[in-house]
Chain A
Amino acid sequence: MTEARPVVLVVEDEPEIRRFLHAALGADGYRVVGSATGHRGSIDAATHKPDLAIVDLGLPDFDGIEVIRRIRAWSPMPILVLSARVQERSKIEALDAGADDYVTKPFGIGELLARVRVALRHAFRAGSGEHILRFGGATVDLEKRTARRGDSEVRLTPIEFRLLGCLATHLGMVVTHRQLLTEVWGPSHHQDTHYLRIYMKQLRTKLENDPVRPRHLMTETGVGYRLVADE
């Protein structure tokens, strides 16, 4: 089984943080490659071909966003961002540059491992043609364009289907406002956040058991949305 262990690349300049990531990821069954600089990280990504990369945004030589761009130039591997910055902007920039999800420092290891699992599962599942979505009491067939909640049929509008589809292609991971707006309404609408507010509310009313306390169509304040399906 040792050969089948997924490889995780950790690009992080703080040795203490690398150390505990190494320990925790190792204990969870991953093989870890650590890089202390962005330059080194970009090279390691190419030579080790990891299954997933964890990239810190505050690297000494160049911005973590640059590492993401370099990896994205040739690989679709899932990338998680570690952001210590309180400002949302760098996070969003990283996501728009191609990162798949983020964890804000300081974080508990449970949170990070859960994100790693979701991202790997997503990479594994991508292209599998899965088009039935189940969460809470809702079942949505994205291909046949039908939706049910419990026993009753729910009618979704074409835009609602598109929005749900866009979230579903990143199942479990965050999708930024810009990504959603561009994919669902087109590039000229990338700033029309109010569209999202209205349509997400509609989707929750139709699909969530308790729209006031949603469990699946989750808000990432200031960043975007996340669709969390059943385990």
Chain B
Amino acid sequence: MSTRGDWTGYAWAAGATAICTLVGLAMRDRFDLVNVAMVYMLAVVAIALRYSRGPAILTSLLCVAAFDYLFVPPWGAFSIDDVQYLFTFVVMLAVAVVISELVDRVRRHAQAQAALEIEAETERIRSALLASVSHDLRTPLAVLSGASSTLAESGERMSAEERRALATSLFRQSRELSEHVAKVLQMARLETGTIQPERDWATIGEIAATVLDRLAERLSKHRLIVDLPDDLPLVRVDATLIEQALVNLLENAAMHTPAGTVVRLRAQRRGHELLVSVEDFGGGLPEGDGERVFAKFHRHSSEGIGGIGLGLSICRAIVRLHGGLVWAERVPGGGAAFRFTLPIEEAPTVPAESAGD
């Protein structure tokens, strides 16, 4: 447990004692002293459950002291001549130690369990990565070496048109390959925490414009609707990362919905956060897939659809890095909406300036 956590624990030990004392004082006229002691016991149990052994022991000490000083006659003085209150102290101390020991054990067990789960997850990802690398990278590589060797060895016997077609497919496949590799690398960097977001003030409108520019070709077969109100606030984000997140969402929509359908990009203010949505009107989400689609290497349908199943997990990692939420939901009328939020912080002001000369 961190130092800061420890200090909070000790602070709460004092706080809980104070609260119980107030409750005890209110009870004093109508209840037996034993019941007041029970209230203090409650504090000891609560602190032992929530914090480590140190704060729990301190609570039992403080509680017995307060109980003895304020409630056991003579009031306003310490007297432990009465053996039964010494007994109260010992019991409280025992409760504190036993409970914090139990809690500690449960906590350790949970940690071990979590570590095991992470290990299993890592193993799953590793094999998925291998599968993905071998399938998705091998195909473009086969095209690259096939087409380029064809050009090198029999290019002279081909028409200019054929040569151009081969060269164009080389270019396209290499682009695709480099994007695959970039995604695998980015996911790895996001996972290991190598990426530190460089936050600065940005507008979602500007980011969206760049994204739509980058995706102009891939979205050309869809009907795009952009709905960005004029008065959206600035957000403090790593614009490069958010751009990537948005690219991945739109790419995903374009990839999984038929040509001619609508893809809508929306952003709106919702309280203290900015809600960004990419909605499509294609097949919708498979049942119960709201969370699973974000899993690494998850693929919505089997073959024939490009991408390596990392786009959405990268998107999720990026949004989480910014303290936002990301989720998918069905859209009435048979479609899917992928939404994420970004916290809105108060933007610094820009000095006003009047138009004129």
Nearest first, the 6 A-B pairs at minimum CB distance are A194-B201, A222-B240, A155-B355, A193-B200, A157-B355, A106-B178
B185 contacts A219, C-beta separation under 8 Å: no
CA distance A222 to B203 in the complex (A): 12
B350 contacts A198, C-beta separation under 8 Å: yes
Question: Which A residues are in CB contact (< 8 Å) with B226?
Answer: 212-213
A145 contacts B357, C-beta separation under 8 Å: yes
- Among the stretches B92-100, B207-215, B302-310, the one at the interface with A is B207-215
Tell me, rounded to whole Å, the shortest Cβ–Cβ distance linking B174 to chain A. 7
CA distance A157 to B353 in the complex (A): 7
CA distance A70 to B207 in the complex (A): 35
Q: How many residues of B contact A (CB 8 A)?
A: 35
Q: A130 at the A/B interface (Cβ < 8 Å)? A: no
Question: Which A residues are in CB contact (< 8 Å) with B178?
Answer: 106
B202 contacts A197, C-beta separation under 8 Å: yes
Q: Mark A185-198, 1 if CB is under 8 A from B, else 0.
A: 00000001111011
Question: Which B residues are in CB contact (< 8 Å) with A212?
Answer: 205, 208-209, 226, 228
Which of B226, B353, B355 has the most C-beta atoms of chain A within 10 angstroms of its own C-beta? B355
Q: A158 at the A/B interface (Cβ < 8 Å)? A: yes
Q: B239 at the A/B interface (Cβ < 8 Å)? A: yes
Besides A156-B355, A193-B201, A197-B206, 16 new A-B residue pairs in contact (Cβ under 8 A), listed by A number: A88-B198, A88-B240, A89-B198, A106-B175, A108-B171, A145-B357, A192-B348, A193-B200, A194-B201, A197-B201, A201-B203, A212-B208, A221-B239, A221-B240, A221-B243, A222-B240
Q: A86 at the A/B interface (Cβ < 8 Å)? A: yes
Interface residues of A in 142-190 (CB under 8 A from B): 145, 155-159
Q: A200 at the A/B interface (Cβ < 8 Å)? A: yes
Question: Which B residues are in CB contact (< 8 Å) with A213?
Answer: 209, 212-213, 226
B357 contacts A158, C-beta separation under 8 Å: yes
Could you tell me which A residues sit within 8 Å of B by CB distance?
Answer: 86, 88-89, 106, 108, 145, 155-159, 192-195, 197-201, 212-214, 218-219, 221-222
Tell me, rounded to whole Å, the shortest Cβ–Cβ distance linking B188 to chain A. 12
CA distance A213 to B354 in the complex (A): 26
Q: List 21 A-B contacts (CB under 8 A).
A: A89-B198, A108-B171, A145-B357, A157-B355, A157-B356, A158-B357, A192-B348, A194-B201, A194-B347, A194-B350, A195-B350, A197-B202, A199-B350, A201-B205, A212-B209, A213-B213, A213-B226, A219-B207, A219-B210, A221-B210, A221-B240
Tell me, rounded to whole Å, the shortest Cβ–Cβ distance linking B72 to chain A. 63
CA distance A159 to B357 in the complex (A): 10
Q: B234 at the A/B interface (Cβ < 8 Å)? A: yes
Question: Which A residues are in CB contact (< 8 Å) with B355?
Answer: 155-157
CA distance A207 to B348 in the complex (A): 26
Question: Which A residues are in CB contact (< 8 Å) with B207?
Answer: 219, 221
Question: Which B residues are in CB contact (< 8 Å) with A156?
Answer: 355
Q: B182 at the A/B interface (Cβ < 8 Å)? A: yes
A194 contacts B357, C-beta separation under 8 Å: no
Question: Which A residues are in CB contact (< 8 Å) with B213?
Answer: 213, 218
Question: Which B residues are in CB contact (< 8 Å) with A197?
Answer: 201-203, 206, 234
Tell me, rounded to whole Å, the shortest Cβ–Cβ distance linking A16 to chain B. 12
Question: Which A residues are in CB contact (< 8 Å) with B243?
Answer: 221
Question: Which A residues are in CB contact (< 8 Å) with B350?
Answer: 194-195, 198-199
Tell me, rounded to whole Å, the shortest Cβ–Cβ distance linking B338 to chain A. 20
Question: Which B residues are in CB contact (< 8 Å) with A158?
Answer: 353, 356-357
A86 contacts B182, C-beta separation under 8 Å: yes
Question: Which B residues are in CB contact (< 8 Å) with A199?
Answer: 350
B356 contacts A155, C-beta separation under 8 Å: yes
CA distance A198 to B349 in the complex (A): 10
Q: Mark B174-208, 1 if CB is under 8 A from A, else 0.
A: 11001000100110000000000010111101111
Question: Which B residues are in CB contact (< 8 Å) with A193?
Answer: 200-202
Tell me, rounded to whole Å, the shortest Cβ–Cβ distance linking A138 to chain B. 16
CA distance A226 to B255 in the complex (A): 30
Which of A89, A158, A194, A195 has the most C-beta atoms of chain B within 10 angstroms of its own C-beta? A194
CA distance A228 to B213 in the complex (A): 14
CA distance A184 to B343 in the complex (A): 30
Q: Which of B206, B208, B354 contacts A157 (CB 8 A)?
A: B354
A146 closest partner in B (C-beta): B357
CA distance A201 to B201 in the complex (A): 13
The answer to whether residues A106 and B348 also contact, given A86-B185, A213-B209 and a CB cut-off of 8 A, is no
Question: Which A residues are in CB contact (< 8 Å) with B203?
Answer: 197, 201
B353 closest partner in A (C-beta): A157
B348 closest partner in A (C-beta): A194
CA distance A91 to B347 in the complex (A): 27
The answer to whether residues A219 and B206 also contact, given A106-B174, A106-B178, A212-B228 and a CB cut-off of 8 A, is yes
